[in-house]
Amino acid sequence: MTDEQIRALKEPGGKSQAGLFTPEEQAILRYTDLLTTRPENIEEADLEALSAQFNEEQIIELTLAIATANWTTRINDGLQVPSTDTDADDWHVAECTRGPRHHHRHRRRVRGGESRTPQRPRGQLGSR
């Protein structure tokens, strides 16, 4: 992507700037926006625009990639995982110490040399 394309993506309506994106990119951008924000608004014309540029397997792969990105975003938002590189430096993955049958990692926020596991208010999923 060019710097001009990246700037356009950050502006309202920037995706539709004439000549900035190829027909393939325009179809992908529209489909991504719809699948992310209002999947019920995807119309036959949107799928036809994709079909004009990509085969069925490619459309399925595109859909899976978009859905996976949306899914991981929801998880990260729900767990309040920082989204900037600066904030991400404050998060470290630590091995769980709950025992041999509890095989996963926990994120810990580190500030000023102090490590703690983010606490969840009582009554929420997974609280004890």
Same domain as 71, residue 45 = yes
Q: Are strands 105-111 and 114-116 parallel, antiparallel or unpaired?
A: antiparallel
Q: Are strands 91-95 and 114-116 parallel, antiparallel or unpaired?
A: unpaired
Residue 122 pLDDT level (bands cut at 50, 70, 90)? very low
> In Å, how far are 7, 18, 53, 113 from 22, measured between CA atoms?
16, 9, 10, 49
Q: Which tokens sit at 75?
A: 């998880």
The answer to the question of residue 100 being in a domain is yes
Same domain as 73, residue 15 = yes
Q: Considering its fold, how many domains does the chain have in total?
A: 2
Same domain as 104, residue 52 = no
d(CA 30, CA 48) in angstroms, rounded, equals 12
The answer to the question of residue 124 being in a domain is no
Quickly count helices (H) and strands (E) in the chain: 5, 3
Same domain as 73, residue 89 = no
Predicted local confidence at residue 10, as pLDDT: 87
pTM of the model: 0.59
Same domain as 94, residue 37 = no
Same domain as 103, residue 64 = no
What letter represents residue 96's amino acid?
Answer: C
The answer to the question of residue 123 being in a domain is no
pLDDT tens track for 69-98? 999 999 998 998 887 654 444 444 444 444
pLDDT tens track for 12-60? 877 777 788 998 999 999 999 999 999 999 999 999 999 999 999 999 9
Same domain as 44, residue 27 = yes
Same domain as 65, residue 106 = no
d(CA 128, CA 123) in angstroms, rounded, equals 8
DSSP 8-state code for residue 119:
P
Same domain as 65, residue 95 = no
The answer to the question of residue 125 being in a domain is no
Same domain as 68, residue 19 = yes
**Element (H or E) spanning 109, and its range?**
strand 105-111
Please give the residue range of the domain that contains residue 13.
3-78
